[in-house]
Amino acid sequence: MKAILVREIKTFFGSLTGYLVIAVFLVLTGLFLWVFDGAYNILQSGYNDLNPFFQLAPIVLLLLIPAITMKSISDERRQGTIELLVTKPLSLTQIVLGKFLGAFFLTVLALLPTILYIFVLNPYGNPAGNLDIGSTIGSYLGLLFLVAAYTGIGVFCSSLSENQIVAFILSVLICFGMYLGFDQIAEVFKSSLIEKIGMNYHYKSMSRGVLDTRDLIYFVSISVFFLTATVFNLKNVRK
């Protein structure tokens, strides 16, 4: 698994992909948070917190993570190297986890510079230093679990087709449905139960700074489910 992980990271940073992903995420979120007028502008919100960032980041990542994962397995299938990969002394689970962790690691690298926002905002509260650190840490943890779920979905979709564009579109649709789709359905049927099926409900719960095991189990289950489905798909290649 370590060999696959290292290979994925080298692939990302051996070309413009890794640098481009990090740059796009930071530039997009930076513009919406500090430059463009709108609901996500921190300076216009009147509050000394990072809530606008934690509302914006899942939407940006909903497009960015599928772009990272779309070639993880589909490219191997298109080039015919997936057959060689599955014959190596690695289990299918190790191969899938290596692909998953490579994409997850790249996304975490894109998130790391945003921690500087805490140090930028903290002195400007009233009084100074009143930034809710507990809620901020909870939001970052929630974002990491959300990234893991998105990445699991992306790797699964990449295993379904040799076409990267198809994998990208499928991943975006599933991520969108899982994150915002259930909220829309719940609003139509006025059902809190349906809302709890969606990722947004559990993400917002963690963003309050309270770590509920139900939220953790939810995100872990989503990730494990899609990674297991990916392993199942690759078994057909090995046969």
> Tens of pLDDT along 210-229?
778 999 999 999 999 999 99
Interval 165-207: pLDDT, tens: 999 999 999 999 999 999 899 888 888 888 899 999 999 988 8
Contact yes or no for 103/69 (Cβ under 8 A): yes
Contact yes or no for 118/162 (Cβ under 8 A): no
Whole-angstrom CA distances from 152 to 4, 42, 70, 77, 148 are 16, 31, 11, 18, 6
Q: Map out the domains of the chain as residue ranges.
A: 2-238
- What confidence score (pLDDT) does residue 188 get? 87
- What confidence score (pLDDT) does residue 200 get? 93
- What confidence score (pLDDT) does residue 5 get? 86
**Under-50 pLDDT residues of the chain:** none
Taking the CA atoms of the chain, what radius of gyration do you get in angstroms? 19
Question: What are the DSSP calls for 172-219, one per residue?
Answer: HHHHHIIIIIHHHHHHHHT-HHHHTTSHHHHHHHHHTT---HHHHHHH
